[in-house]
């Protein structure tokens, strides 16, 4: 499965959004991220991180202005029970 923990890409924030994401903001826009790794495809589950570490899990969309849609805190198991 793309986005499984063993192959999950990390998207790095370039803006201080940790507190906003923790407060429930659901999106990360393109201007708030470093360049996305080329192997990331739309719909992949990625880790969102900053200089302090992991912040959240998200769906990625490299071609949208909204590059990531927050799903859950880091370490959350995204399986059938999660949905």
Burial 38-63 (b: 16+ CB within 10 A, else e): eebeeebbbbbbeeeeebbbbbbbbe
Q: Is the pLDDT of residue 2 over 70?
A: no
Distance, CA of 63 to CA of 19 (rounded, Å):
25
Distance, CA of 73 to CA of 21 (rounded, Å):
10
Supply the CATH classification number for the domain 5-72. 2.30.130.10
Exposed, middle or buried, 1 (CB in 10 Å: 0-12/13-18/19+)?
A: exposed
Q: Mind listing the pLDDT tens digit for each residue in 23-69?
A: 999 999 999 999 999 999 999 999 999 999 999 999 999 999 999 99
What residue segments make up the domains of the chain, in order of their start? 5-72
């Amino acid at each position: 499965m793309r986005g499984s923990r063993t192959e999950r890409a990390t998207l790095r924030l370039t803006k201080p959004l940790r507190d906003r994401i923790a407060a429930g903001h659901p999106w990360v826009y393109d201007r708030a991220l470093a360049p996305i790794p080329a192997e990331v495809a739309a719909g992949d589950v990625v880790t969102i991180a900053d200089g302090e570490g992991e912040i959240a899990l998200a769906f990625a969309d490299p071609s949208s202005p909204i590059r990531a849609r927050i799903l859950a805190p880091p370490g959350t198991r995204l399986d059938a029970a999660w949905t």
